[in-house]
Chains A and B, each alone.
Chain A
Amino acid sequence: MKKMLALLLAAMMLLAVVPVFAEGPVEITMLLEGNNVTDDAAVLEKLNAYLAEKIGVTLKPTWGTWGNFDQLALDYVNSSRNEYDILFTCSWTSNEYAKYAKKDAYVRLDDPEDNLLEKYGADLTATLPELLFEGAKTEGIDGEKGIYAVPGFKDFATMNTWDVNVTLLEKYGYTLEDVKNAGFYGWGDIFKTVKEGEEKDGEVFYPFVFEGAVVERFVTGTPIVTGDSNSLLSYYMNTEDVSTPGAYGNVFFNKYATPEFEKFVKQMREYYLAGYIDPAIAIGETATDTWRNAQNTARYLISSEVSLYGYEYTTSEARGIQVAYLMTTDAPYIDNTSVQGAMMAISSKSEHPEEAMKFLNLLNTDPYVMTLLNYGVEGIHYTLNDAGEVEFIPEARATYSPWTNGVGNVTILPPQKGQGADFQQRFAEFYAGSKKLPIYGFTFDSKPVEIEIAAVVNVKEAYALSLCTGAVDPETALPELLAKLEAAGMQKIVDEANAQLKTFLGE
């Protein structure tokens, strides 16, 4: 009996390892993020014919969705089988770029021994801005810095903006300039006028709607510190010129212990008590829905948005109002988080890394391939109007809408309806004007203080959102939070981060 079982198992294993000899083009498998694709047959037919002729590969995509990508990526990383040659990765998914590059999950593309980028990616390196590759450098298993994924050429700089409902603003005789000049600390009067005016018909109106978890960064001028995924650290930018260090220099602080933070939460409390902020925004479960619903139904005056170039057009159209975005810094700033926001890595288990690189090279430089994969087939999924703009066919688009930013170089795509024929040039020019943060390239390695972080995060989670939305009184809650953070070992985290930064800057 046991022998039989053993034989059976052995037979199964044999079956599994018998290689399949393929003739003709090499099949490249690819895992993507954030898609809504149910029917890719028409696209793949055209794409694969083209790819097979041009570089001798065919593509087999797996269309991950927002909901299942994390699971798929983790399954793959844990499994022994080579299932995807190319994987989407970035600083915020479960197959986190820096972390898994260090675990040897991805092929080093600029490996001095076998430089795939040099061999097969010449067009790619010529097309993508140098700084993208710079930001993609991370430590591998050998501790050497290298490029482990092709960065996406998209809105690679962060634009923290106030989203202003201009239509409503002008109804009460204010201008965009008024909002700009008053600044966050001086919006009280505008809020008051608009709230009173809008509530005449008896309906509750909240003029200030925002994402509670990030709005603090807009006001105090602090970027996300790459590697600090729990928002514990603050680095103060010079918001007048983001490429130079701020007033404090290049140093990290405990986010909750600075005078700037205290001033911010006190102001929020004032707005909250005055009834300018929807209480639902202070509750984690309802926060995002409330914020987005208010925006989409145009029931807000000022909101927060991490925006991108040309986004006014999209939102104005969708909401039926005039929307304007006021940047909180002098220029979009480039940090690792935004540069590593969407990347394509080649799996270290891949049997065809060279073909995969050839494909990535083509995907990011050949408009035909990129357009086909993103927008579908002309005549089936979209039509081109006289201005050369893409107009989607809704029924077909509903079965084929990949997440554009998650695919590759968006600047070689044709413009969409209403963007204008020269949209991509303007887009590229706009982001060419963005500035690198002084600490660009730094990634906080949380490993040495893992235990402290686990303890601190629990404390922080209980207070942060309600403090940042003004739902609790900072007079009592803030000292409580600070005391608890201290007890949980916050200082050690800050010291560790500063020590790492010093080493990084070579001081």
Chain B
Amino acid sequence: MTAIPKKTAIPKKAREHFRLNAVSRKTEAAFHLVLGIFALACIIPFVFVIIISFSSEDSIRRIGYSFMPQAWSLAAYEQVFRLGDALWRSYFNSFFITVVGTVISVVMCILYAYPLYRKDYKFRGFFSFLSFFTMIFGGGLIPTYIVCKDLLGMSNNYYALIVPMLVSPFYIIIMRTFFQTTVPFDLIEAATIDGSGEYTTLVRVVLPIMKPGIATVALLTALGYWNEWFLCLLYVTDRKLYPLQYLLMEMQRNAEFLARNSSMIGASGADAIRTLPSQTMRMAVVVFIVLPIACAYPFFQRYVVEGLTIGSVKG
């Protein structure tokens, strides 16, 4: 038998050489640990929600929420599907609001941010200030409510769920910064010299370079719309318009309200509690809410990472 040749060890110096551009091993380990814990902290609650949604109601009654329920059950999902129309309509509403809201919002954001980036625009300062001002000073909840509902007629319609969130000064600033860092002004001059008009320049020259920036803002806006329930609480009472988030929110609020006031409402409150969605069902609805947006994430992610690294000086 021949002796197995020893693996030739890479000299220590050479190993160091590979790591010239990296942080030290200790720092890296610490980073990994911190980020790992952070990632777990993000994922575990959701895993927990999924487990609860599959636990049997009886098990929860006996031992409370647990990673290891005494018995599994699909009852919660059966209940959710029994919601029927209410569920699918809410699903549609959520999608509709998110898609329409995101498209309009991103278009408005681009159209606002682009002139702010153009150094040759005369009222740049004024419009920058106009958007920035609303970031710091808001009208407060009640005046906003009165203006939206009484003056602009946003009640019980899709407007109310889309319009109040259309323009975000924060995203405008992000977008403008993207323009500044990715689109050299020379490019626009070159396009102008080649005979391109303003709109052609924006659509055919500038926007294609801006894809990562647009994707980032679009993702953030879409997330905002998807998770929104407060607008619905304020302006919508028609249950046909409820987005999924609010459907869940309402289940939760109903349960809490009845628990708080049970002695006031008396026996008819007890009946109401009996017909309330079970705890596992509420968790199943959470799963329904998270799934679509979680599925959309990977598609955006590439651009978001690009968007974060683009424009900076690369080593």
Residues in chain A within 8 A of chain B (CB atoms):
12-13, 16, 34, 36-38, 62-68, 70-72, 75, 78-81, 90-92, 155, 211, 213-214, 224, 280, 286-289, 292-293, 295-297, 305-308, 311, 314-315, 318, 337, 341, 403-405
Contacts and interface: CB of A to CB of B under 8 A. Distances in A.
A403 B252 CA distance: 18
B240 A38 contact: yes
Nearest to A71: B233
Interface in B253-283: 253-254, 256-259, 261-268, 270-275, 279
Contacts of B233: 68, 71
A296 B254 contact: no
| Secondary structure of the B contact surface, majority rule | helix
B207 interface: no
A214 B263 contact: yes
Interface string B202-244: 0000000000000000000000000000000110010110000
Contact of B252 (A67, A92, A287): A67
Contacts of A280: 64
Contacts of B264: 90-92, 337, 341
B261 A79 contact: no
A403 B266 contact: no
A480 B250 CA distance: 39
| Secondary structure of the A contact surface, majority rule | mixed
Nearest to B242: A38
B259 A289 contact: yes
A12 B268 contact: no
Contacts of B146: 78-81
B305 interface: no
Interface residues of B, number: 42
A156 B178 CA distance: 66
A155 B259 contact: no
Contact of A211 (B153, B263, B268): B263
B20 interface: no
Nearest first, the 10 A-B pairs at minimum CB distance are: A67-B253, A288-B259, A92-B264, A306-B266, A67-B254, A66-B257, A66-B254, A214-B263, A81-B150, A67-B250
Nearest to B275: A36
B268 A405 contact: yes
B267 A67 contact: no
Most chain A CB within a 10 A radius of its CB, from B85, B146, B264, B275: B264
Given A34-B272, A62-B237, A68-B233, A12 B267 contact: no
B268 A404 contact: yes
B239 A75 contact: no
A79 B155 CA distance: 13
Nearest to A229: B264
A307 B266 contact: yes
A297 B61 contact: yes
Given A66-B254, A68-B233, A314 B240 contact: no
Nearest to B147: A12
B95 interface: no
A305 B270 contact: yes
A13 B254 CA distance: 36
A294 B146 CA distance: 45
Contacts of B266: 155, 306-308, 341
Interface of B: 61, 64, 85-86, 142, 145-146, 149-153, 233-234, 237, 239-240, 249-254, 256-259, 261-268, 270-275, 279
A400 to B, nearest CB: 11
A404 B61 CA distance: 30
Contacts of A405: 265, 268
Contacts of A75: 145, 149, 234
Given A280-B64, A341-B265, 14 more contacts: A16-B151, A34-B265, A67-B253, A68-B237, A78-B142, A92-B265, A213-B263, A214-B263, A287-B259, A305-B270, A306-B263, A308-B267, A315-B270, A405-B265
Nearest to B84: A398
A66 B268 contact: no
13 contacts: A36-B275, A65-B253, A71-B233, A72-B237, A75-B145, A75-B234, A79-B145, A79-B149, A80-B150, A81-B150, A211-B262, A318-B274, A341-B265
Contacts of B262: 211, 288
A341 B262 CA distance: 12
Contacts of A36: 275
Contacts of A214: 263
Contacts of B150: 16, 79-81
A502 to B, nearest CB: 27
B89 to A, nearest CB: 9
A311 B264 CA distance: 16
A306 B256 CA distance: 19
Contact of A292 (B85, B142, B273): B273
Contacts of B152: 12
Contacts of A13: 151
A40 B258 CA distance: 24
A68 B261 contact: no
A300 to B, nearest CB: 12
A64 B233 CA distance: 11
Nearest to B152: A12
Nearest to A36: B275
Contacts of A213: 263
A16 B119 CA distance: 40
Contact of B257 (A70, A72, A80, A307): A70
B272 A66 contact: yes
Contacts of B240: 38
A276 B262 CA distance: 23
Contacts of B267: 155, 305-308, 311, 314
Contact of A38 (B86, B265, B273): B86
B256 to A, nearest CB: 8
A63 B237 contact: yes
Nearest to B252: A67
Contacts of B85: 38
Nearest to A204: B62
Contacts of A64: 237
A296 B270 CA distance: 10
Given A75-B234, A292-B270, A293-B61, A68 B250 contact: yes
A314 B258 contact: no
Nearest to B274: A296
Nearest to B86: A38
B23 to A, nearest CB: 44
A255 to B, nearest CB: 15
B299 to A, nearest CB: 34
Contacts of A81: 146, 149-150
Contacts of B274: 292, 296, 318
Contacts of A403: 268, 272
A66 B258 contact: yes
Most chain B CB within a 10 A radius of its CB, from A13, A90, A224, A289: A289
Most chain A CB within a 10 A radius of its CB, from B85, B142, B253: B253
Given A155-B266, A305-B270, A65 B254 contact: yes
B279 to A, nearest CB: 8
A75 B144 CA distance: 12
B1 to A, nearest CB: 62
A90 B261 CA distance: 12
A38 B271 CA distance: 19
